[in-house]
Amino acid sequence: MNELFNGIHKIVLPFQSPLNHVNVYLIEGEELTLIDAGVNSSQAWSELEFQINSLGYKVTDIKNIVITHHHPDHIGLLDYFSHDVKVFGHSYNESWINDYKNLQMHFNKFINHHIKAYGIPDGFKKTLIKKETEGVASTKKITNFLTEGQVLPFLPGFKVLETPGHCSTHICLYRKTDGLLIGGDLLINNIFLNTFMEPPMIGSNERPKLLLEYNKSLLRIKNLDINLIYPGHGEEIKEIDLLIDLQFKKQQKRKKRVMRLLREKPHTIYELCTKLFVGLYEIQFALALSETIGIIDLLKEEKHIVINKTDEVWVCNLNPVPAYF
């Protein structure tokens, strides 16, 4: 734990994943505010209590929790807090947090429909289908929805930026006076696979194209006067433009790889996934597939490829009327 700047304290909580940890931020002011809520574990809760106590506070002193997005490592401890605590987040969080059972059924229906279309073997199906015990559901509701440009009275100087891409619910908090961004998982040092496939919103038939949204969010951040990012994982980010440029270079490399593969022959989405992410797809298939679909979305948007959906298994081909690459 350390004080980063003028009453903002980074608290590092344990998280059993390749990342090993998640950052939450305690912000002092007229009211004590926590940004994100870690993973749901007694170990994480004990560590949060210990670090807050070491600052001279108790967890019961926290009046507001702002969540940057709905992923389980950012909302996990919500139910440990008093019902009096106000919870702030994007309105899209509501289905993920409070109506997860219905969303889970919706997601599994979407996956079952697309497994054959993507050419995915049955052996990988279990890595995509959500089990009932895997929900991120919480009994604590989002009490206040956040929207673009909103200013929170208990966080003077900060305004809300809607930054979808990592997921559909993602927001950041931006303070223009000193160029500080509390960035959630928008950018993380040394992480270049950063979008996760989501089903269409309930009531919609269109899957969110999150890598396209992610790139728009990155360009938006790059065009703001930002000097420092406090991320959801890892160390603070100072070389912001460099990291964004690296993200785009990684994407460009993958796009060119797909184009080379399609010049050889048409491929299913699963086949492209296995060739783009050798060594990864076997152990983190959902992540590899999500990024593959994102790259395909980019190439399709740029009119470099087309997808033949006439057969049961969809096939990616080069666009017969090629765009400049």
Token pair belonging to 94: 């509501």
Helix H or strand E segment including 47? helix 42-54
What pTM value is reported for the model? 0.92
173 phi and psi, to 5 degrees? -120, 125
The residue written with tokens 């593969």 in the block is 261
| Alpha-carbon gap, residue 200 to 87, rounded angstroms | 25
Q: Are 262 and 307 in contact (CB under 8 A)?
A: no
80: nearest Cα among 32, 45, 33: 45
180-184 and 86-90: which strand pairing? Answer: unpaired
Q: What is the pLDDT of residue 132?
A: 45
Q: Are 146 and 190 in contact (CB under 8 A)?
A: no
Q: What is the pLDDT of residue 136?
A: 55
Q: What is the pLDDT of residue 193?
A: 82
| Alpha-carbon gap, residue 171 to 127, rounded angstroms | 28
Q: Where are the domains of the chain?
A: 2-108+130-245
Q: What is the pLDDT of residue 185?
A: 97
Q: What is the pLDDT of residue 5?
A: 65
Q: Which residues of the chain have pLDDT under 70?
A: 1-5, 100, 129-137, 322-325
Please report, as a single letter, which amino acid is at residue 215.
N
Q: What is the pLDDT of residue 201?
A: 78
2-108+130-245 CATH, one of 2.30.30.140, 2.130.10.10, 3.60.15.10, 3.40.190.10 = 3.60.15.10
Q: What is the pLDDT of residue 64?
A: 98
